Amino acid sequence: MKKILKDIDKPLFLLSTILFIFGLIMIFSSSNITAFMKYATSPYRYFLKQTFILIISFILSIVLLKFHSKCYYYLSQFCVYLIGIVLALLLAYGSVKNQAVSWINFGFFSFQPSELAKIVIIVFLSCYYDKKKDQLDQYKVVLYPIVLAAIIAFFIFAQPDLGTTIIYTLIVASIFFMAPISQEIRNKMLLLILGGVMIAAMVLVGVGGKLINSEQLERFDFKEPCSKEKFYGSGNQVCNGYIAINHGGLLGTGLGQSTQKYLYLPEAHTDFIFAIIVEELGFVSSIILFVLYFLLIGRIIKIGKDSYNTRGFLICMGVAIYIVLHIFVNLGGILGVIPMTGVPLPFMSYGGSFSMSLILALTLVQRINVENRQFLEKKQKKLQFSKTISKKSK
């Protein structure tokens, strides 16, 4: 185990730790008023719950680091089928939260299977296309995992959870087009996807009200959220987010000094935590946060490019895309660039299911880095051995 910990990527670990600690601080700052005023509980409620989740996830990640990525194929395939079954049952027996049947309620903890589905599909597709790399000119082989992924996407959409469906689908599409699939199949799939998107858009416009509820349908009308018609309706959260960001200015009002977290932003510690960060710590803090994100994603991509096999490359690229999409969709919704879909901001937002999934994703990248280093060491030893034999023969 010491050897494995020695071979993890230190910059990635440091960046992840800094972001998680910063996130914990901001979760406490943005949630203490909500916990006390709305739920009449301890101001530390969300902070302690998030800390507990991070500690448990960290312990599990140490265990996961021991397993070689060769083991991932059959395990991930089993998990894909299991998550598909769980999501199907969830539609009938799941707990309703934020107008979606997305949660399994354990009493002390609510778990969102669709969050874990994103990581499972990254691993499954990566391992599958690596294992079948010599058969990726056959339609049956190439499309089998895509069909499984599409079934899961349908179940997530039916909850309905549009934000998660979009991110999940884009992850699947990205890995598909980065895998060493024959150009003919790739081109035909691209045309099929474009046609599917057009059909889906027409269906959504035509019968959208029957597929998703009215409140979620209103989110597509995201222009001018601060207008008189929308301020007390669909635009309320986004407009209060604008107020928080504007109030923060360059240097912010000071840690803990936000006014918008006084129930003006009902999801201040989850979806809209970025607005509270800017309000309390200013625009400068957002620049620092973006730099940290950029460095972290860059590090993940580097580990992927250094990988000696397709499996490691695709897992790292999938995790990088997963994080980028969450950042883009969350901030795009807050800034009114795209519809608000309730997607958490990586490292910052409160949420047990997402935080556990994020740590799992980062652990997978660290495992790939460990294997990259071990492969390189073996290669160097073989080279050194061959040089020694060559010298002796002379």
Which residues lie closer than 8 Å to 370 by C-beta, 6 or more apart? 4, 7, 8, 65
- Mean pLDDT of the 303-310 span: 93
Domain encompassing residue 180: 2-393
- The model's confidence at residue 276, banded by pLDDT at 50, 70 and 90, is very high
Number of folded domains in the chain? 1
Which residues lie closer than 8 Å to 121 by C-beta, 6 or more apart? 80, 149, 152, 168, 171, 172
| 60, burial (CB in 10 Å: exposed 0-12, middle 13-18, buried 19+) | middle
Judge contact between 7 and 233, C-beta under 8 A: no
For the entire predicted model, the pTM comes to 0.91
Q: How far is CA 319 from CA 5, 21, 133, 324, in A?
A: 20, 20, 20, 9
Of the listed ranges 12-16, 208-212, 323-327, the least confidently predicted one is 208-212
DSSP string of 143-168, one letter each residue: HHHHHHHHHHHHHHHTTT-HHHHHHH
Looking at the predicted structure, is the pLDDT value of residue 217 above 90?
no
Between CA 239 and CA 221 the distance in angstroms is: 13
- The model's confidence at residue 320, banded by pLDDT at 50, 70 and 90, is very high
- The model's confidence at residue 170, banded by pLDDT at 50, 70 and 90, is very high
171 or 163: which leads in pLDDT:
171
Between CA 97 and CA 236 the distance in angstroms is: 19
Looking at the predicted structure, is the pLDDT value of residue 215 above 70?
no
99 or 357: which leads in pLDDT:
357
pLDDT at site 321 = 97
pLDDT at site 21 = 96
- Mean pLDDT of the 11-39 span: 92
Reading across the β-sheet that carries 110-111, which strands appear in turn? Answer: 95-97, 100-105, 110-111
Query: Buried b / exposed e across 208-232, counting CB within 10 Å, b at 16+?
Result: eeeebeeebbebbebeebeeeebee
Looking at the predicted structure, is the pLDDT value of residue 362 above 90?
yes
- Mean pLDDT of the 299-325 span: 95
pLDDT at site 386 = 72
DSSP string of 36-67, one letter each residue: IIIS-S-TTHHHHHHHHHHHHHHHHHHHHHTS
Percent share of the chain, pLDDT over 90: 51
- Mean pLDDT of the 32-39 span: 83
pLDDT at site 233 = 64
- The model's confidence at residue 111, banded by pLDDT at 50, 70 and 90, is confident
- Does an H or E element contain 322, and which? helix 310-334
């994603």: which residue's tokens?
A: 297
Looking at the predicted structure, is the pLDDT value of residue 22 above 80?
yes
DSSP state of 344: P
- Does an H or E element contain 220, and which? none
Between CA 158 and CA 161 the distance in angstroms is: 7
Judge contact between 211 and 160, C-beta under 8 A: yes
Query: Buried b / exposed e across 356-378, counting CB within 10 Å, b at 16+?
Result: bbbbbbbbbbbbbbbbbbeeeee
Nearest alpha carbon to residue 32 among 255, 212, 297, 360: 255
- Mean pLDDT of the 341-348 span: 90
- The model's confidence at residue 95, banded by pLDDT at 50, 70 and 90, is low
Looking at the predicted structure, is the pLDDT value of residue 192 above 60?
yes
Nearest alpha carbon to residue 146 among 174, 176, 116: 176
Of the listed ranges 33-42, 151-160, 200-209, 336-345, the least confidently predicted one is 200-209
- Mean pLDDT of the 26-47 span: 87
Model confidence pLDDT, tens digit, residues 365-377: 999 999 999 888 8
